[in-house]
Amino acid sequence: MAESNHSAVTEFILLGLTDNPELQLIFFCVLLLIYLITVLGNLGLIVLIQVSPQLHTPMYFFLCHLAFVDFYGSSTITPNTLVNTFREIKSVSFYACATQVCSFITFSVWELLMLSVMAYDRYVAICHPLLYVVLMPRKLCIQMVTSSYIYGFLVGFIQAVATFHMAFCGPNVINQFYCDDVPLIALACSDTRVKELMLLAIAGFNVFCSLLIVLISYAFIVFAIIRIHSTVGRQKAFSTCASHLFSITMYYGTLSFMYLQPKSSHSLDKDKFASVFYTVVIPMLNPLIYSLRNWEVKNALRKITEKMYLNKK
């Protein structure tokens, strides 16, 4: 791509989170701790779901893949950010930057799709409980997840190719701690109108469709819960989707803060720290939310722990 458009830029410079040495050490320790929790939490949740027969249901099948997506997304950004923290010049090669853009966009689309699929799963479970097994067979679940992965990768690949097909003649400084599509477009010295239209159309389509699925699913869920006469039944129905609803609120709330506020109120520092929450913190919180608020996950973890303890004896 670099040779085809005669780009003069062979690498990009990331400004990182801060250039204050004291804050750099604090950020490094915090990011390292968050990443370790993210890896242990998400991989631990995946293993727990795989080894616990009582969790072999569509709901936990999708949760397992959400945990993988969060692990993948965090690993796309955080390790490189940790390595760059104490580097005086935080450079990244042209092709490494393209790879990170592709990976990050892929992660973002996967996250949207997984949350949408999980919303539909909760709709079927609460609104059609007697037909749940029939309407959500394992084959369909696998097809939904597989198609989400394929579509997300294609979107990430196409967007990255469109971005790095443009000419970059300098400057090459990105005011961010990772290679992001939007600031890269601002650095291009060729016509960016087609790329900007692509970004707006594809991102708008993905967010609109995923949010529409979530809103329609939860509208039906709310109506179904209202019709339940038993207070215990209402609480049980709500508890099955409370964790997912909290994850959706965090994810779309952050997206709204980053992209829906007026340009006059935009601050690069605010956007940068919103990006930290979006790319680093949320992947850490998701497994904690689903573990701490879900009695089935806690029960499965207790059984595994007791079994390991008895085996040691």
Express each pLDDT in 65-113 by its tens digit.
999 999 999 999 999 999 888 887 888 999 999 999 999 999 999 999 9
pLDDT reading at 181 higher than 70: yes
Residue 120 main-chain phi, psi, to 5 deg: -65, -40
pLDDT for res 64: 94
Between strands 91-93 and 173-174, the pairing is unpaired
Q: How far is CA 207 from CA 113, 211, 216, 292, in A?
A: 9, 6, 14, 28
Q: Which domains does the chain have, with CATH numbers?
A: 11-312 (1.20.1070.10)
Between strands 173-174 and 11-14, the pairing is parallel
pLDDT reading at 8 higher than 60: yes
Residue 12, helix vs strand vs coil: strand
pLDDT reading at 237 higher than 80: no
* Cα–Cα distance measured from residue 54 to residue 143, given in angstroms and rounded to the nearest whole number: 22
pLDDT for res 266: 53
Q: Are 42 and 70 in contact (CB under 8 A)?
A: yes
* Cα–Cα distance measured from residue 115 to residue 290, given in angstroms and rounded to the nearest whole number: 13
pTM of the predicted structure, to 2 decimals: 0.89
* Cα–Cα distance measured from residue 249 to residue 257, given in angstroms and rounded to the nearest whole number: 12
Q: Residue type at 25?
A: L
Identify the residue with better confidence: 59 or 3: 59
pLDDT reading at 232 higher than 80: no
* Cα–Cα distance measured from residue 58 to residue 30, given in angstroms and rounded to the nearest whole number: 35
Count how many residues are written for the chain.
Answer: 313
pLDDT for res 287: 87
* Cα–Cα distance measured from residue 80 to residue 104, given in angstroms and rounded to the nearest whole number: 13
Q: Which residues contact 58 (CB under 8 A, 6 or more apart)?
A: 121, 125, 132, 136, 138, 141
Residue closest to 244 by CA, chosen among 117, 120, 119, 123: 119
* Cα–Cα distance measured from residue 270 to residue 264, given in angstroms and rounded to the nearest whole number: 13
